[in-house]
Amino acid sequence: MKSDSDTAILVVGHGTKSRQGIEQFNSVIDMMKDQARLPVGQAFIEFAEPNMQNGVANLVALVKPKRIIVVPLLLLAAGHVKTDVPSEIAKARIVYNKITFHYARDLSITTQLLDIVEDRALHPFSGMTPAIGLRSQPKYTLLVGRGSSDPDANSDLYKIARLLSERGRLGQVEPAFISLAKPGVPESLDRLRLLGAKKITVVPYFLFTGTLLERIYSQSRAWLNSNPAIPIQLAREMGPDPRIVELINQRVAETQSGGSAMNCDMCVYHNQVQPHVHSKSNPSTSVARQHR
């Protein structure tokens, strides 16, 4: 990529109907603007404005860039990362055919995000019974993600739960999903009870607050009503954090250097694999066999 002088950044968030969730996203953008050497714009995939086309238009009107780096502020690569954002970039390329668009990868699985999750789990905001030591190290933790129809993204949450378990600060970490995938929150809390949990910390694997986060808390409280002998601690979402801004800057830097790559091995949206062809040649003949 050429010089930074004509380059701008468009940070794309999921979007939410929660005013607090939008404010949290905006706080991250403000932190970026305070640090970035490049102009920074923002957009949302759904539920909030500006949408991506308007976000690009705002950035073009503001700085007239020759290149735009689109950074999805999303934790894992599911349908939004693999289809929705690329589709909007394709539309923008048609409208702004003199601008080069570069697509950074999602936040993915990183030490910074694991650190933030641990910090939130070790300082939960809500204990549901007075007996809970709010700063005690958990022995059993439920890590709750959004859930997706993409098995690659769902399997990443299992990997994250395993990594957190291996780090040893949150005890045994079990994954769960609040939508689109199983196991759900009640089933996973039941599993931890059967494994011998005497108290459980519930940690959302979410950047910002919103409707799904409230659903996690609501389902946890409902489960506690049926299992009053097992106290539950509720942790907060990641929220605005300088380490998230650091990650965004890393995604920008790796895109500028040409090092950005996505994990598409198990992607349900990946192009169908073409039949493999074995060929064998000699000076007079060529034989090809297709394996279907």
Note whether 116 and 65 are same-domain residues.
Answer: no
In a domain, residue 124? The reply is yes
Q: 128 and 62 share a domain?
A: no
Helix 151-167 vs helix 111-122: angle between axes, to the nearest 10 degrees?
60
Task: Give the H or E element holding residue 276.
Answer: strand 276-281
- 289 within a domain of the structure (yes/no): no
DSSP run (H or E) holding 234: strand 232-234
Give 257: exposed, middle or buried? Use CB within 10 Å, 0-12, 13-18, 19+: exposed
Note whether 226 and 250 are same-domain residues: no
Given this model, what pLDDT does residue 255 score? 95
- pLDDT tens for the chain, 292 residues long, are 444 669 999 999 999 999 999 999 999 999 999 988 899 999 999 999 999 999 999 999 999 999 999 999 999 999 999 999 999 999 999 999 999 999 999 999 999 999 999 999 999 875 544 333 445 689 999 999 999 999 999 999 999 999 999 999 999 999 999 999 999 999 999 999 999 999 999 999 999 999 999 999 999 999 999 999 999 999 999 999 999 999 999 999 999 998 755 544 334 454 444 443 444 444 444 333 333 3
What's residue 141's pLDDT? 98
Q: Is residue 208 part of a domain?
A: yes
Q: The domain spanning residue 174 has which CATH number? A: 3.40.50.1400
Q: Please name which of 95, 125, 85, 115 lies closest in space to residue 209, comparing C-alpha atoms.
A: 125
- Both 145 and 93 in one domain: the answer is no
Same domain, 186 and 214: yes
Q: Cβ–Cβ contacts within 10 Å for residue 11, how many?
A: 25
- The answer to whether residue 280 is domain-embedded is no
Instruction: Tell me whether residue 36 is in a domain.
Output: yes
DSSP for 194-232 reads HTT-SSEEEEE--SS-SHHHHHHHHHHHHHHHH-TTS-E
CA angle 73, 76, 81 (to 5 degrees): 65
Let me know whether 162 and 223 are in one domain: yes
59: containing domain: 4-108+241-257
Within this chain, do residues 225 and 246 fall inside the same structural domain, yes or no? no
C-alpha torsion 192→163→262→238, nearest 10: 70
Eight-class DSSP state of 138? P
Asked if residue 95 and residue 135 are part of one domain, the reply reads no
Counting the structural domains of the chain, the total is 2
pTM of the predicted structure, to 2 decimals? 0.84
In a domain, 281, yes or no: no
282 found inside a domain: no
Note whether 68 and 133 are same-domain residues.
no
